[in-house]
Structure 1
Amino acid sequence: MDRTEKRDFVASLATVFAETSFVLVGQNKGMTVAHVSELRRRMKAAGATYKVAKNRLAVLALNGTDFQGIKPLLKGPTALAWSRDPVAVAKTAVDFAKTNDKFVILGGSLGTQMLDPVGIKALAELPSLEALRAGLLGMIQTPASRIASVLQAPGGQVARVLAAYAKKDESTEAEAA
């Protein structure tokens, strides 16, 4: 990389850090290209980004962001993962780390809050943003459907009573004739 490429890389990474809510730091020492590609594919499917970056450039990009606390983690062969949905990144990384012992989660940052590997695993156990949205939508729809059934019930009862009176009147007219 020449200076302009480095400068552009730092600027783009700083933009990412300004727009995201969560950054995970992992150590990818000894991972094959196939393993890294598989992890990238999984991260992309989860709506996250996984990037191997030079530590010195990543530290420059972290300056002035909420994620400055992860600077001490950037030693050796590290990679960064980020997304707007912190749970998606954490779940994907934890699941991948279970099947690949060469990928080690070093920690991360949820805004200004630093997380160690145990904190990342705890975050991974939370329901995803999509699951939370679906649950919330279900909770919102349930009262509406209950209200509709309650409002329809008296009308249905009145209709059944009127139908019973109509049948009763028909039967008494048939008996009189």
Structure 2
Amino acid sequence: MGLNLEGKKAVVAEVSAEVANAQVIVVAEYRGLEVGQITALRAKARESGVYLRVLKNTLAKRAIAGTHFDGLSDQLVGPLIYGMSADPVAPAKVLQEFSKTSDKLIIKGGVMPNYVMDAAGIKALATMPSREELLAKLLGTMQAPIAKFVQTLNEVPSKFVRALAAVRDAKEAA
């Protein structure tokens, strides 16, 4: 059953709100997927904070019209599932991982603000570490010199204590 005009406006408004907060939109063709597979994909997306939606392409075009994602309009052909998130890597990872288990999900492409990507670009994006992982690596790199400096400062009193212990042991043995 199709949506009436009010229903379509509500869908476009909901998707537009998600698009406004998104850093990336990834589209994939889902033709041939079973309901159970789509349900599993949605559960995985929900865990990762990805908004996943099957939309009519005309409604998607209306939702992204006038945004930084306008370049995606050329890729909107066929039955597509849309993944979007504020994390630029999460939708690509979720859809890429799922496409490894199901050959019926075909990643078509995606878009970051003012940058349209093909399927190869999305696969490359999926291999990137997440923002949290990058921040953890940066923090570790920034902390390493300080930790080494503290260890070096701590070594001087430690050496002195070990020398005193050696002198004590030598006196006790004599």
Is the CA contact (8 Å cut-off) linking 2:107 and 2:119 kept in structure 1? yes
Partner residue of 2:16? 14
1:131 shift after superposition: 2.1
Aligned match of 1:157: 159
Q: What does 1:133-172 correspond to in 2, within 5 Å?
A: 133-161=135-163, 167=168, 171=171
CA distance in 2, matches of 1:161, 1:83: 59
Q: Cα gap change, 1:101/1:164 in structure 2, threshold over 3 Å: closer, same or farther?
A: closer
Q: d(CA) in 1 for partners of 2:95 and 2:88?
A: 11
TM-superposed CA distance for 1:130, in Å, is 2.7
Read off the aligned partner of 1:95 and give its amino acid letter.
Answer: E
Q: Select the structure of larger CA radius of gyration.
A: 1
Aligned to 1:39: 41
- Matched position secondary structure for 2:96: helix
2:64 is matched with: 62
* SS of equivalent residue, structure 2 residue 84: strand
Paired letter, 1:66: H
Name the SS for the 1:86 alignment partner. coil
Identity of matched residues, %: 35
Please tell me the residue identity of whatever aligns with 2:76.
Answer: L
How much has 1:19 moved relative to structure 2?
1.1
* Structure 2 residue ranges without an equivalent (≥5): none
Is it true that 1:5 corresponds to 2:7 in the alignment? Answer: yes
Equivalent residue in structure 2 for 1:86, among 79, 85, 88: 88
CA distance, structure 2, for counterparts of residue 17 and residue 106 of structure 1: 18
State how many pairs are aligned.
171
How far the C-alpha of 1:147 sits from its partner, in A, is 1.9
Distance 1:102 1:162 in 2: 72
Deviations 1:66-107 (A, max 9, x none): 111111121221110011222222122112112212211110
Question: In structure 2, how many angstroms separate the alpha carbons of the residues matched to 1:162 and 1:156?
Answer: 10
| Superposition deviation, residue 161 in structure 1 | 4.9
The residue matched to 2:109 in structure 1 has which SS?
A: strand
In structure 2, distance between residues paired with 1:151 and 1:107: 53
1:109 to 102, 108, 111: 111
Counterpart of 2:137, as a letter, is G
Q: CA deviation at 1:129?
A: 2.3
Deviation at 1:143, TM superposition (A): 2.2
SS at 1:23's partner residue?
strand
What is the TM-score normalised by the length of structure 2?
Answer: 0.86
**Residue 53 of structure 1, CA deviation:** 1.0
5+ residue gaps, structure 1: none
Cα distance in structure 2, aligned partners of 1:106 and 1:127: 21
